[in-house]
Amino acid sequence: MGGVLDPHAPDAPYDSAWHRRKLDYRLVNPANRRRFKVIVVGTGLAGAGAAAALGELGYQVESFTFHDAPRRAHSVAAQGGINAAREDTADNDSLQRFVTDTVKGGDFRGREVDAFRLAEESMRVVDHLNAIGAPFAREYGGTLATRSFGGVQVSRTFYARGQTGQQLQVASAQALQRQVHAGTVTLRVRHEMLDLIMDGDRVGGVVMRNLISGDITAHTAHAVVLATGGYGNIFFHSTLAKNSNASAIWRAAQHGAHFASPSFIQFHPTALPISSQWQSKTILMSESLRNDGRVWVPTRPGDQRPANDIPETERDYYLERKYPAFGNLTPRDVASRAATEQIRSGHGVGPLCNGVYLDFRDAIARLGRHTIAERYGNLFHMYTNATGEDPYEVPMRIAPGAHFTMGGLWSDYDLMTSLPGLFVGGECGWGYHGANRLGANSLLSACVDGWFTLPHTVANYLAPHLGTEPLADDSPQVRAALSRTRARADALLAIGGTHGPGHFHRLLGAILYEGCGVIRSRETLEHAIGRIRELRAEFWRDLRVVGTGLHLNQELELAGRVADYLELAELMCVDALDREESCGAHFRAEHQRDGEATRDDKRWAFASAWQVGTDGGFIRHHEPLHFDTVPLTTRDYR
């Protein structure tokens, strides 16, 4: 068993902690900033924001993305909106309500003091994004429009139809390109991080693969920021782009960075169900649809009649029945679990009986088709393209799908990991969301990290290193990192088996959905751990990677990512098995009361942070969680 982790949070009331910490940060003279080099890996909202802000401040920034342009980072896939506690609506919202909703929504397994920073900076984030060109929806009088999202009873979500992530990403990428033009940021596209360069216990750079030429190169810096997104694609069928992966953060974990709450995986309740086994992924439909859509299943198990032929008296609007106070806007973990229960009990709908209905009939009758089209038209169009069905005429079919990872590299209040010089931003971190992220807090947390936190915290780390130089390109540390990376690629190429990496990825996803999915138990987790170990052994015995490592080779890229998934998957299950309670999206079947999650605050009011041992085992450290302003209570959305 490991030790107790110090979050290095300010010794101040939580509602003033961020203000106090900013006053205490060490500063770097503007004339000295050009002497420091910072590497930022990833160009989503967190990475683009951090690189653009650090470049604007005058630091030397090297920005990497495996996309062909920074605007294609996966933040574009977010649809519904971005939260902000602006207190300018008439429904009695406030900063304290935002914090309460975030902490309660995460089932009291996040860091409360971080939630205050999220709330405080949210008011600046929306103004900033609006200023750099994000086309937010507006009311008739010109003020920014808001709508509701799951887990809250106020309207605090700012949006750009159903493509908010895309519009915010475009604005942030433009800000990044401005710094590229100014010469403060060097942008390298089509590069994937393969390893960290370690200078003792400090991070001194990264090893990258050029995805066009296959070249492996080293890049050194005074500090490294990872903003590489979440690891939900480990489930194979997920809402994430197929290239999204865990390799950057897992390599950090292999070098000693602690990994927090790896089993806290959010399953989005409005993903599209898989219609046939050949599908390679599922598709996200915005949670904003639950503002006007009603979720239901037939009351009779196995009822395969067309949805419109099922009379009102034979429909079970189960979320409205079970959670009348929140209805269809219950938090994602609650809605996903309820849908899973309906599907498993035989009430599932669709060709594979693996979905539930999301019906807009009543909203169209009340508001008119034109209004619904204004709010969700692009989402309805996307649904029709994916399924061939018209949601204006028939209900959508939805189902829980692996989506967001609340877990990630453990970091302190300053977003620095347990490896000095290595920072995280966005979904690859962990602090804000606890065991369940509220809808529209994802875009917010990425922007708060990138634009308004990392520029302060990275400077605080750099200040005492003035006068030092990054590692030389021919230093022993750089040569060692390059040697490790090439040896790993050679090992994958040398196996010479019979199955490609996609085969093992698909099998791993099935194991995880069954064993560490929406509902887990000791039995399913122990079984999954055994099967993962067997699959990992088979992978290293029977993998086949065609081609070489000397040029473009997408099979080799995927093989490396799947190898990392097979190791991380075991840690996910070990963490879920270790945590003998239910909280948020971590629902252990043994720990429930009347179908609702049962926390154990006496034993488990802490964040688990796992260290990978030298023998491949896992050591659990922990950070106690304190709640000074939001009292520990049982979540109740009824």
Q: How far apart are CA 147 and CA 82, in angstroms?
A: 10
Q: Which two tokens stand for residue 266?
A: 């959010």
Strands 60-64 and 185-188: parallel
Residue keyed to tokens 């304290």: 96
Q: What is the DSSP string of 507-554?
A: HHHHHHHHHSSSSB-HHHHHHHHHHHHHHHHHHHHHB---S-SSS--H
First CA to last CA across the chain, in angstroms?
39
Q: Which two tokens stand for residue 316?
A: 């079970």
Q: What is the DSSP letter of 240?
A: S
Q: How far apart are CA 77 and CA 489, in angstroms?
A: 31
The residues assigned a catalytic role are 332
Q: Answer for the pair 46, 248: CB distance below 8 angstroms, yes or no.
A: no
Alpha helix (H) residue ranges in 388-453 = 441-447
Q: Name residue 321's beta-bridge partners.
A: none
- Phi, psi of 293, deg, nearest 5: -85, 145
- Phi, psi of 568, deg, nearest 5: -65, -35
Q: Answer for the pair 518, 484: CB distance below 8 angstroms, yes or no.
A: no
Residue 248 neighbours by CB under 8 Å, 6+ apart: 41, 42, 193, 226, 228, 428
Other beta carbons within 10 angstroms of residue 166's beta carbon come to: 18
Quick one: which of 341, 43, 304 has its CA closest to 170? 43
Other beta carbons within 10 angstroms of residue 333's beta carbon come to: 32
Quick one: which of 95, 32, 127 has its CA closest to 452? 127
Q: Cα–Cα–Cα angle for 447, 452, 453, nearest 5°?
A: 100
In 3-state terms, what secondary structure has residue 399?
Answer: strand
Residue 28 neighbours by CB under 8 Å, 6+ apart: 36, 459, 462, 463, 466
Q: Answer for the pair 512, 234: CB distance below 8 angstroms, yes or no.
A: yes
Quick one: which of 456, 479, 407, 453 has its CA closest to 216? 479
Other beta carbons within 10 angstroms of residue 196's beta carbon come to: 26
* Radius of gyration in angstroms for the set of CA atoms belonging to the chain, rounded to a whole number: 24
Quick one: which of 292, 525, 299, 282 has its CA closest to 395? 292
Sign of CA dihedral 546, 549, 554, 558: positive
Q: How far apart are CA 414 and CA 434, in angstroms?
A: 17
Q: Name residue 355's beta-bridge partners.
A: 349
Q: Answer for the pair 59, 31: CB distance below 8 angstroms, yes or no.
A: no
Q: Answer for the pair 458, 425: CB distance below 8 angstroms, yes or no.
A: no
